Amino acid sequence: MASFNLLLLPGDGIGPEVMTEVGRVLTWLDKNSGATFETETDLVGGSAYDAHGESISDDAMDKAQKADAVIFGAVGGPKWDSVPYEVRPEAGLLRLRKDLELFANLRPAICYPALADASSLKRDVIEGLDILILRELTGGVYFGEPKEIVTLENGEKRAVDTQLYTTHEIERIARVAFELARARNNKVTSMEKRNVMRSGVLWNQLVSAVHKAEYPDVELEHMLADAGGMQLVRWPKQFDVIVTDNLFGDMLSDVAAMLTGSLGMLPSASLGAPDPETGKRKALYEPVHGSAPDIAGKGIANPIAMIASLGMALRYSCDMGDAADLVDGAIADVLASGARTADLAAKGQNSVSTSDMGDAILAAMSKRA
Ligand code: NAI
Ligand code: MG
Strand 157-162 relative to strand 144-151: parallel, antiparallel, unpaired? antiparallel
Give me ligand 2 centre to Cα 258, in Å.
Answer: 12
Query: What pLDDT score was predicted for residue 184?
Result: 96
**What is the spatial distance between Cα 171 and Cα 194, in angstroms, rounded to a whole number?**
16
pLDDT in tens, 122-167: 999 999 999 999 999 999 999 999 999 999 999 999 999 999 999 9
Query: What pLDDT score was predicted for residue 288?
Result: 94
- The catalytic position among 50, 59, 62, 254 is 254
Q: Fold identical between 1-107+262-369 and 130-259? A: yes
- The catalytic position among 250, 328, 333, 343 is 250
Pocket of ligand 1 (CB under 6 A): 14, 74-77, 93, 263-264, 286, 289-295, 301-302, 305, 343
75 is in an annotated binding site: no
**What is the spatial distance between Cα 265 and Cα 116, in angstroms, rounded to a whole number?**
13
- Domain extents in the chain: 1-107+262-369, 130-259
pLDDT score of 33 more than 80: yes
**What is the spatial distance between Cα 342 and Cα 217, in angstroms, rounded to a whole number?**
44
Residue range 1-107+262-369 in CATH 3.40.718.10: yes
pLDDT in tens, 163-177: 999 999 999 999 999
pLDDT score of 258 more than 90: no
CATH dotted code for 130-259: 3.40.718.10
Are 44 and 74 contacting, i.e. CB atoms less than 8 angstroms apart?
Answer: no
Site to substitute for ligand 1 among 289, 309, 352, most atoms within 8 A of C-beta: 289
- Tell me the pTM: 0.95
- The catalytic position among 50, 62, 217, 226 is 226
Are 15 and 21 contacting, i.e. CB atoms less than 8 angstroms apart?
Answer: no
Q: Is 142 designated active site?
A: yes
- Confirm whether the ipTM is greater than 0.85: yes
88 is in an annotated binding site: yes
281 is in an annotated binding site: no
Q: At what angle do helices 354-368 and 15-32 cross, to 10 degrees?
A: 20
